[in-house]
Amino acid sequence: MSRGKRGLVLRARDTKIMYKKLMAKLKEAARGIKQDVMTVYFAARDPRTPLLVRLLALAIAAYALSPIDLIPDFIPILGYLDDLVLLPFGIILVIKLTPTIVIEASRAKANEVISKPTSSIAAAIIVAIWVGLAIGCAYWLVRHA
């Protein structure tokens, strides 16, 4: 192996390591945003939160959990910009406007919910129900067309 090829192999390995580190950081950031969204959701449900802040928190949580975006994700750069700017800004705003005791209680509830294991069997049942409904609708459309 020549010296040039060895350097290329090392660079490829370094790139792989950097990619794995970046992915780990992104996963951690996603978990943090998920926890913050759940915190905002629970803060919105708490009666100690002021009404306008509750409405804002519900809007932020609904936007975060909704599959519909303000700017569609397929639009290059701008599609993800709303998720990277609007969502964290809204979360920060809600957290700043909500009483500290409510945020602490909401974070505890969010940690509890996030730490619960997810059921792949329940997910499979829900997917099967949706597939069954889609097949039923398609069958009905074909029969009545």
DSSP code per residue over 56-95: HHHHHHHHHH-S--SS-TTSTTHHHHHHHHHHHHHHHHHH
* 105/39 Cα distance (integer angstroms): 9
User: For residue 30, is pLDDT > 80?
Assistant: no
The pLDDT value recorded for residue 1 is 46
Percent of the chain with pLDDT over 90: 41
Q: What are the start-end ranges of the E strands in the chain?
A: none
Task: Please report the pLDDT score of residue 3 as a whole number.
Answer: 53
> Quick one: pLDDT at residue 5?
58
pLDDT given at position 33: 82
User: Which is nearest to 52 in space by CA: 86, 87, 93, 92?
Assistant: 93
- Encode pLDDT of 59-98 as tens digits: 998 888 777 766 676 676 666 777 777 888 999 999 999 9
